[in-house]
Amino acid sequence: MSDAETADRTAGEAGPPDRRREQRGWYFYDFACSVYSTSVLTVFVGPYLTSVAKAAADADGFVHPLGIPIRAGSVFAYAVSLSVILAVLVMPLAGAAADRTGRKKPLLAAAAYLGAAATAGMFFLDGDRYLLGAFLLIVANASLAVSMALYNAYLPQIAEPEERDAVSSRGWAFGYTSGALVLLLDLALYTGHESFGLSESEAVRICLASAGLWWGAFTLVPLRRLRDRKVAPGGEGAVGSGWRQLLATLRDMRRHPLTLSFLLAYLVYNDGVQTVISQASIYGSEELGLEQTTLITAVLLVQVLAVAGALGMGRLARTYGAKRTILGSLAVWALILAGGYVLPAGAPVWFYALAAAIGLVLGGSQALSRSLFSHLVPRGKEAEYFSAYEMSDRGLSWLGPLVFGLGYQLTGSYRDAILSLVIFFVLGFVLLARIPVRRAVAAAGNPVPDRI
């Protein structure tokens, strides 16, 4: 049996009950790891790591890792950039190994539990240990990116083409539901830390560590329900040929220029999305002067509305197609960033309004991008191509945080830095609008849905 024939035995080989069981298990990885994205990356670790770095800074506000002068307020942004550069080096190798061996699940488990352990280790981030915090953040963020590449690669195998928009949207909805639930518990702990006999720092560190424990615990569900597919034997071992397989994957992707065009468009506009997610709390606390409680409740609002947004945009995609729905969301994103630039300091109500708008487009734009890309992946190349997708998702989203960090480094103003993000959505819109997606699906050798 050829590799193509083996790979073709994916979602269609399982009956609906078995396929639904795998889908329900698949949703739970979003449920497990989204707590890290919400509680850790979006809410707590940015402001907290910045405060730890400031405690270690000199009189001019600079820290000096390896003798390099870095403004304390830029440490978090630079750590995020380093984490995704590390992910770029690891993800294609993990994807190649998964496709060559057919064993995505052990690799998913290794990445998930490394990230969960690093996140739990953030409990020990106190005093002036900014280097420990930066290291744990780099490991956790890179591990999340690798695990998500492997997780996303299951989508073409567990869902028929006409199901993927809905299945992908439900996965994001599960993730935002868990994010909202845990963030609500975090809010109770943080605001009532004195009644629990905790300092503010201890409350934050417990919130960080509990996200790692949640991530590890609920990862057990997909590991029990997802199954690996057999692949035809042949070729070198995945580990020994990792870099050669990466080069082969890149050469193979040149045979699908329309798929590459989508990845380029996604890389650009998603860089803006990921930068907004990771830097929003820094912007709110440092530039707008908002309290930590305000930031937590704003992100909680994002999580609640993102569930409705993901499901609602999934319904819109059934009527207007995924491409048009994503384009509409990018226009809204550009307006959100323009509104964020003129947002007055010390005005929580306007920050909440902006958070509501973000929630309504965040989950849907990500879910539909994932499902649209699943139609553009040649069969038998799922993990490798989704590694490239994840590089565009979290893995190559280093430019936005880097520009944001440099903007603050040079100007000392986060408000100036936010201006750079609008161009990511405008350029991404233009690039995506030019792609003939129906022709791209056919060129990848996949059936073309009625609406896409």
Cα–Cα distance measured from residue 126 to residue 133, given in angstroms and rounded to the nearest whole number: 9
Per-residue pLDDT tens over the stretch 123-147: 999 889 999 999 999 999 999 989 9
> In 3D, which of 89, 189, 98, 132 has the Cα closest to residue 380?
98
Q: Residue 5: its pLDDT value, please?
A: 39
Q: Residue 92: its pLDDT value, please?
A: 75
- Kindly state the average pLDDT of the residues 28-32: 94
Which of 78-82, 89-93, 152-156, 318-322 has the lowest average pLDDT?
89-93
Radius of gyration of the chain measured on its C-alpha atoms: 21
- Kindly state the average pLDDT of the residues 248-258: 79
Cα–Cα distance measured from residue 184 to residue 407, given in angstroms and rounded to the nearest whole number: 33
Tokens of 104: 């995505």
Tokens of 183: 């963030």
* Secondary structure element (H or E) that encloses residue 246, with its range: helix 242-253
Confidence of residue 204 (pLDDT cuts 50, 70, 90): very high
Per-residue pLDDT tens over the stretch 185-200: 998 999 999 999 999 9
Tokens of 441: 């699906």
Per-residue pLDDT tens over the stretch 37-47: 889 988 899 88
Q: Residue 331: its pLDDT value, please?
A: 94
Beta strands of 251-334 (E only): which ranges? none
Q: Residue 246: its pLDDT value, please?
A: 58
Cα–Cα distance measured from residue 332 to residue 313, given in angstroms and rounded to the nearest whole number: 13
Confidence of residue 111 (pLDDT cuts 50, 70, 90): very high
* Secondary structure element (H or E) that encloses residue 71, with its range: strand 70-71
pTM above 0.85, yes or no: no
Q: Residue 225: its pLDDT value, please?
A: 92
What does pLDDT average to over the chain? 84
Strand partners, 62: 71
Q: Residue 362: its pLDDT value, please?
A: 84
In terms of Cβ atoms closer than 10 Å to its own Cβ (0-12, 13-18, 19+), residue 229 is middle
- Could you tell me what percent of the chain has a pLDDT over 90? 34
Confidence of residue 206 (pLDDT cuts 50, 70, 90): very high
Confidence of residue 180 (pLDDT cuts 50, 70, 90): confident
